[in-house]
Amino acid sequence: MQFDQEFDARGLSCPLPIVKTKKALNAMTSGQVLKVTTTDPGSVKDMEAFANQTGNPLVESGTAGGEYVFYLRKG
C-alpha cells in the first residue's frame, strides 16, 4: 500500500502508539495515508477504536514477524 508518512512505534506501550499516531496525523493533510508499525499487541484494538472515534479510517492492517502494521487515512 502506498503511504505519505511513516511512524515507527515499535517498543512503545499503550497509550503511546495512539498518542503519537494522533500527533502525526494532525501534521498531515486530509486524504494522506500514515503507516504505523507497532510491537504492542494491544494496539490492534486501540487503532480500530482510534480510527472509529476520530474519523481517520483504518484503510488496512496486518501482522508480520511479531509486528503490527496499520494504514490510516487522514480524515
Strand partners, 61: 70
- Rounded Cα distance, 73 and 75, in Å: 6
Contact 60, 71 (CB under 8 A): yes
| Active-site option among 14, 16, 44, 59 | 14
Q: Which long-range contacts (CB under 8 A, 24 or more apart) does 50-57 make?
A: 50/18, 50/21, 50/22, 54/22, 54/25, 56/25
The pTM of the whole model exceeds 0.75: yes
Which of 71, 51, 69 minimizes the C-alpha distance to 59?
71
Q: What is the pLDDT of residues 9-65, one digit of tens each?
A: 999 998 999 999 999 999 999 999 999 999 999 999 999 999 999 999 999 999 989
Q: Provide the domain limits for residue 27.
A: 5-73
Q: What is the pLDDT of residues 5-24, one digit of tens each?
A: 999 999 999 899 999 999 99
- Number of independent structural domains in the chain: 1
Judge whether 14 counts as a catalytic residue: yes
CATH code at 28? Answer: 3.30.110.40
